[in-house]
């Protein structure tokens, strides 16, 4: 699978060079505009990051769709790789793409932010902040953010692969994939809503530590993030079903 990841990344090296160069040049231009306030420069740097992440999102979709509808699929599906490996490699590649571009753009954001916020004071207050904030909550937030993005991409990949098998016409197949994705999202959203109402049991993740709650003078267990158990279980199960179904389609049903 890791050879597939290297293959996928290699196919985008020119795009990486272009977008990283664009991010760098655009931010360097902001440094040369002396009449703009630091807040304005940070705002435009944030817009540059947002635009770059939109481009990466398009890459992430094209990473899968091009092998469904373009000639690159002939080579990929002749490799001695299972559908699970192919799909897993693509999802890992998307995370790497987002991480690299996000890291470079984020560095420039921090440089601009340094002209607004006193980093020395900020870092000196971090120990106190970490004593107040629940580390488990921060880990949960980071993991759930990655999983939500992967879940979203997998639902798109599943819709594209299902459309590819069901609709042979290329143009209609792309439109069909979009329609399937919309219908799938609405159905999953409705089921999740019904589960939340029918089974309201939740488990809470504390945002603050016990010491943090005392320091801020809030009630014990008030600042929490509720997670519905039934909805979470359904989404995990549906993620697994989509992964297995998409991998099966890639391995057994895709025909060029």
What is d(CA 143, CA 128) in angstroms, rounded to the nearest whole number?
24
Output the six-digit token pair for 72.
């690159």
End-to-end CA distance of the chain: 22
> Which residue from 127, 160, 189, 131 is spatially nearest to 61, judged by alpha carbons?
160
pTM over 0.75: yes
What is d(CA 91, CA 82) in angstroms, rounded to the nearest whole number?
14
The pLDDT, as a whole number, for residue 56 is: 93
Which residues, given as ranges, of the chain have pLDDT below 50? none
> Which residue from 99, 86, 101 is spatially nearest to 248, judged by alpha carbons?
86
Task: Look at the block and give the residue holding tokens 């559908």.
Answer: 83
Q: Where are the domains of the chain?
A: 1-117, 124-256
The pLDDT, as a whole number, for residue 77 is: 65
What is d(CA 79, CA 21) in angstroms, rounded to the nearest whole number?
33
The pLDDT, as a whole number, for residue 37 is: 85
Burial of 63 from C-beta contacts in 10 A (0-12 / 13-18 / 19+):
buried
Alpha carbon separation from 159 to 3, 125, 239, 246, 250 (Å, rounded): 26, 47, 13, 9, 12
Question: Per-residue pLDDT tens for 169-190?
Answer: 666 777 888 899 999 999 999 9
What is d(CA 132, CA 108) in angstroms, rounded to the nearest whole number?
29
The pLDDT, as a whole number, for residue 46 is: 92
The pLDDT, as a whole number, for residue 148 is: 92
- Tell me the torsion sign for CA atoms 51, 52, 55, 57: negative
Mean of per-residue pLDDT scores for the chain: 82
CA angle in degrees (0–180, nearest 5) for 207-213-219: 100
The pLDDT, as a whole number, for residue 42 is: 86
């Amino acid at each position: 699978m890791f050879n597939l990841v290297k293959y996928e990344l290699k196919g985008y090296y020119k795009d990486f060079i272009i977008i990283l160069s664009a991010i760098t040049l655009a931010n360097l231009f902001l440094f040369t505009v002396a009449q703009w306030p630091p807040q304005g420069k940070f705002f435009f740097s944030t817009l540059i990051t947002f635009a770059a992440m939109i481009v990466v999102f398009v890459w992430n979709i094209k990473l899968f769709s091009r092998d469904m509808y373009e000639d690159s699929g002939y080579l990929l599906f002749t490799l001695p790789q299972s559908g699970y490996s192919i799909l897993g490699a693509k999802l890992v590649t998307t995370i790497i793409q987002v991480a690299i571009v996000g890291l470079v753009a984020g560095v420039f954001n921090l440089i601009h932010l340094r002209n607004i916020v006193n980093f020395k004071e900020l870092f000196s207050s971090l120990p106190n902040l970490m004593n107040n904030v629940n580390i488990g909550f921060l880990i949960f937030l980071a993991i759930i953010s990655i999983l939500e993005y992967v879940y979203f991409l997998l639902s798109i990949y599943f819709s594209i692969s299902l459309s590819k098998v069901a609709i042979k016409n290329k143009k209609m197949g792309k439109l069909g994939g979009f329609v399937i994705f919309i219908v799938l999202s609405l159905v999953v959203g409705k089921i999740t809503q019904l589960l939340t109402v029918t089974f309201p049991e939740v488990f809470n993740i504390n945002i603050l530590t016990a010491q943090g709650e005392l320091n801020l003078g809030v009630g014990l267990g008030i600042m929490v993030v509720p997670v519905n158990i039934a909805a979470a279980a359904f989404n995990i199960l549906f993620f697994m079903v989509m992964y297995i179904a998409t991998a099966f389609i890639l391995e057994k049903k895709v025909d060029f």
